[in-house]
């Protein structure tokens, strides 16, 4: 890992908890401690329920894509984003809950995945296949034939 990425991650691991504490204190000051705690628990429960629905929907789309004989790259990346969304929603706090709920919006998630695939230097490749080699294994070539020297 290069030092630039390390610095960014270090800052994020410091800044996000500080932001969460700040928001919890502010919201707690406005609505009280108990409603704030209930709101954090409520968003986690609601987020888990919505995450389950989105996960099942994404799994169904993966199966449909595979049945069409296509590589479900977008759906697989959506699954990874849903995994991250689940972690964000289970983390106590309003900032991470907001990011988690945004990741549960199918149109936003798909747009982000497509952008990431186009601009993120991500190469989607079938395992065991080289981009410069033809695919290995049996091939079926369909066609018709007729015998030219039929002596019958």
Does 73 map to a domain? yes
Is residue 70 helix, strand or coil? Answer: coil
Average confidence (pLDDT) per 10 residues, the chain, 152 residues: 86 94 96 95 93 92 90 90 93 94 93 86 60 59 73 60
- pLDDT 10s digits, 8-21: 999 999 999 999 99
Does 17 map to a domain? no
For residue 144, the model assigns a pLDDT of 76
- pLDDT 10s digits, 54-78: 999 999 999 999 999 888 888 999 9
For residue 120, the model assigns a pLDDT of 75
How many Å apart are CA 37 and CA 96, to the nearest integer? 15
Residue with tokens 């190469």: 123
Does 145 map to a domain? no
For residue 143, the model assigns a pLDDT of 73
Query: CA dihedral in degrees (55, 50, 28, 34; nearest 10)?
Result: -120
Domain count, the chain: 1
For residue 149, the model assigns a pLDDT of 77
For residue 138, the model assigns a pLDDT of 62
Does 150 map to a domain? no
For residue 86, the model assigns a pLDDT of 92
Whether residue 61 contacts residue 72, with contact meaning beta carbons closer than 8 Å, is answered with: yes
The token duo for 55 is 């996960």
Whether residue 96 contacts residue 85, with contact meaning beta carbons closer than 8 Å, is answered with: no
Does 4 map to a domain? no
Does 84 map to a domain? yes
Closest CA to 82 of 60, 65, 63, 99: 99
Burial 12-50 (b: 16+ CB within 10 A, else e): eeeebeeebeebbeebeeeeeeeebeebbeebbeebeeb
Does 93 map to a domain? yes
The token duo for 8 is 């960014």
For residue 139, the model assigns a pLDDT of 63
For residue 111, the model assigns a pLDDT of 93
Does 10 map to a domain? no
pTM above 0.75, yes or no: no
Q: Which domain holds residue 101?
A: 37-119
């Amino acid at each position: 890992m290069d030092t630039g990425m390390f610095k960014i991650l270090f800052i994020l691991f410091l800044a996000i908890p500080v932001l969460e504490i700040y928001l919890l204190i502010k919201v707690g000051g406005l609505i009280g401690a108990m409603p704030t705690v209930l709101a954090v628990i409520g968003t986690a429960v609601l987020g888990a329920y919505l995450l389950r629905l989105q996960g099942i929907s994404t799994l169904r789309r993966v199966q449909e894509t595979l049945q069409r004989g296509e590589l479900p790259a977008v759906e697989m990346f959506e699954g990874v984003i849903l995994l991250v969304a689940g972690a964000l929603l289970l983390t106590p706090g309003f900032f991470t809950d907001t990011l988690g709920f945004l990741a549960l919006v199918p149109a936003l998630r798909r747009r982000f995945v497509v952008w990431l695939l186009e601009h993120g230097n991500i190469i989607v490749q079938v395992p065991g296949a080289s981009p410069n080699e033809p695919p290995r294994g049996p091939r079926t070539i369909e066609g018709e034939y007729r015998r030219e020297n039929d002596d019958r």
